[in-house]
Structure 1
């Protein structure tokens, strides 16, 4: 279930490698552990997808402003500390990735972590989970 969807202004493409950012975020997700040391984001269910916005407006429109929005979705039932740690871990990785751009570009970044309580339907079919659950 863990997913990260990245929406961004297309001018970000000239500033950084978005595929590399996706890998950075996925790798960071895989390092997050709960209080018992268990992996919070299962390897086979971790997905990071990035989409440039076809149409956008940022701030007053007087500059070539860039923006990146990351939304991480995780299953419910985790403690506040685990959710905070997940957000901090991912935001640190994202800020490190974009650090060179902050030196020379006008860019904003938002990262939000949502949990999905009360799902009405959650259909899944995957050959990925068994690949990583061989313990």
Structure 2
């Protein structure tokens, strides 16, 4: 599963490098560990995907408003402290990245973390994980 999906208004593309943000988020995700020192987001499964909206409406439409929604998924069983740490760290990366445009253009940012505690089916096929599980 993608661990982070970003949906955003395409007017951000002219103001910031969303691809660079994806890399920064992925790099940060790789450094997040739980209380036992285990990586929260396994290296081979860490993915950040960003999609500009083909169509959008933000607020009253009277300004050049921008919006970015980030949905982070993680496996169930993590403590509240681990989830909060992950959210705080990832939101800090986004805030730093958009800081240069934040005062020039109204921008809304939402980051949510979902866990998958009761999956009915979770099929996987990957040649990525073995690269990092040696």
Q: State the TM-score bracket (shorter-chain normalisation).
A: over 0.9
Q: Secondary structure at the match of 1:122?
A: coil
- Secondary structure at the aligned position of 1:14 is classed as coil
Deviation sequence 1:74-96 (CA, Å, 0-9, x none): 00010111011110110111111
SS at match of 2:108: strand
CA contact (8 A) 1:6 1:69 kept: yes
| Counterparts of residues 53-132 of structure 1 (less than 5 Å) | 53-132=53-132
Map of 1:20 onto structure 2: 20
Kept in 2, the 8 Å contact 1:72–1:113? The answer is yes
C-alpha root-mean-square deviation of aligned residues, in Å? 0.9
How many pairs were matched up? 134
Unpaired runs of 5+ in structure 2? none
Q: CA deviation at 1:71?
A: 0.2
TM-score by length of 1: 0.96
SS of match in other structure, 1:5: strand
* TM-score, length of structure 2 as denominator length: 0.97
List runs of 5+ in structure 1 lacking aligned partners: none
**Take 1:2 and 1:76, find their aligned partners in 2: how far apart are those partners?**
15
Deviations 1:55-75 (CA, angstroms, capped at 9, x unpaired): 110000000100000000000
Structure 1 match to 2:45: 45
Runs (4 or more) in structure 1 with deviation over 4 Å come to: none
Aligned position for 2:33: 33
Cα deviation, residue 2, structure 1: 5.6
Residue 109 of structure 1 deviates from its aligned partner by 0.5
Q: CA deviation at 1:105?
A: 1.2
